[in-house]
Amino acid sequence: MATLGKVYLIGAGPGAQDLITLRGARLLASADVVLHDALVTPEMLELCPQAEKIAVGKRCGQLSTAQQFINKQLVDNARKHAIVVRLKGGDPMLFGRADEELRALEEAGIDVEVVPGITTALAAAAATRQPLTKRGVSRSVAFFTSSTAPELDGLVTVPNTDTLVQYMGGREAIATALSLLAQGRAGTTPVVVIENVSRADQRVLRLTLADLARGLEAPNGPVLVMIGNALEMRTHQLADAMPEERRRLA
C-alpha cells in the first residue's frame, strides 16, 4: 500500500509576502503541490517555485471552485505527493472553510497540520495603528460576516460587542450600519474601511456609522470594515492622516 503524504493548511496572512510565518514559508519551499486561494498574491507563490500550483479560489460574486472538489483535490494529491500545502489567505481557522477540509482529510486517514497565519483584522489594526480594544472604551471584539446572517424584524443581526470587525464587508456593511443605528448606536461612531490590507495598493477610508449607512463605492479588492469607539483617531493621527483617509473609496 502506497504511503500517504501529509497536508498542511497554511495561513498566508493578509497579503504581504513577509507577513507569512517562518514555518509557513519553510513548508512552502519544500511543498510538492500548493492549492491556493484567489486572495493569495503572486509574490507569496514565489516562495514555492518548485511546487505544482493549483488555483482553487473562492471569491464572492465570482466563479469559484466548489468546496467538495477542493476536498477531493487535497485527498487525491496527498495520495500522490509527500507534502501538500493548502494555502489560505489570512488564517485557516477563521472564515477559511477549514472544518470541511479537516473532516475530509481525517476521514481519508491523511495526516494534517494547521499552520496559523495573521488574520486580516489584526493586520488592519496594525496598518492603521488603531487598536481594537481600548481601556475604558472597548473590552470586547467580534469578527463576523453577514453573507449568511439571520434577520430579525427585517434587519441583519449583528454581534453585540464594543468593537465590530466585518470580513468581506463591502456592500454588506450597509446592512450592518442600518442594523446598528436601529439598535441605538450613535451615527458618529467611528468606522475604518480598509481595502487590500497590507498590500501595495492598500487603501484606508475613515468615516462614521451614519456615512457607512449611505453606502460605499465599489472596491477593487477585499474589504474589511471596523466599527467602534476604540477606532477614534488620536490627536497625532489626525495631524498625520493622509488625504485619502478622509475620502470615500473611489
Residue type present at position 110: I
The domain spans of the chain are: 6-115, 120-246
- The Cα 128–Cα 185 span in angstroms is 23
Nearest to 32 by CA among 77, 67, 73: 77
Please report the beta strands in 42-186, taking only residues with DSSP state E, as ranges in sequence order: 52-55, 83-88, 111-115, 141-144, 151-152, 155-156, 163-166
Q: Can you say whether the dihedral through the CA atoms of 108, 110, 116, 119 is positive or negative?
A: negative
Q: Which CATH architecture has domain 6-115?
A: 3-Layer(aba) Sandwich (3.40)
* The listed CATH number (1.10.10.60, 3.40.50.2000, 3.30.110.70, 3.30.950.10) that belongs to domain 120-246: 3.30.950.10
Instruction: Count how many Cα atoms sit within 13 Å of the Cα of residue 21 in the half-sphere of its side chain.
Output: 18
Q: Can you say whether the dihedral through the CA atoms of 37, 42, 44, 45 is positive or negative?
A: positive
* Residues whose CB is less than 8 angstroms from the CB of residue 240 and which lie 6 or more positions away in sequence, other chains included: none
Asked whether the domain spanning 120-246 has the same topology as the one spanning 6-115, the reply is no
Active site residues: 37, 58
Tell me the pLDDT of the chain (250 aa) as tens digits.
568 999 999 999 999 999 999 999 999 999 999 999 998 999 999 999 999 999 998 655 445 569 999 999 999 999 999 999 999 999 999 999 999 999 999 999 999 999 999 999 999 999 999 999 999 999 999 999 976 555 555 567 899 999 999 998 888 899 999 999 999 999 999 999 999 999 999 999 999 999 999 998 888 889 999 999 999 998 777 655 555 554 443 3
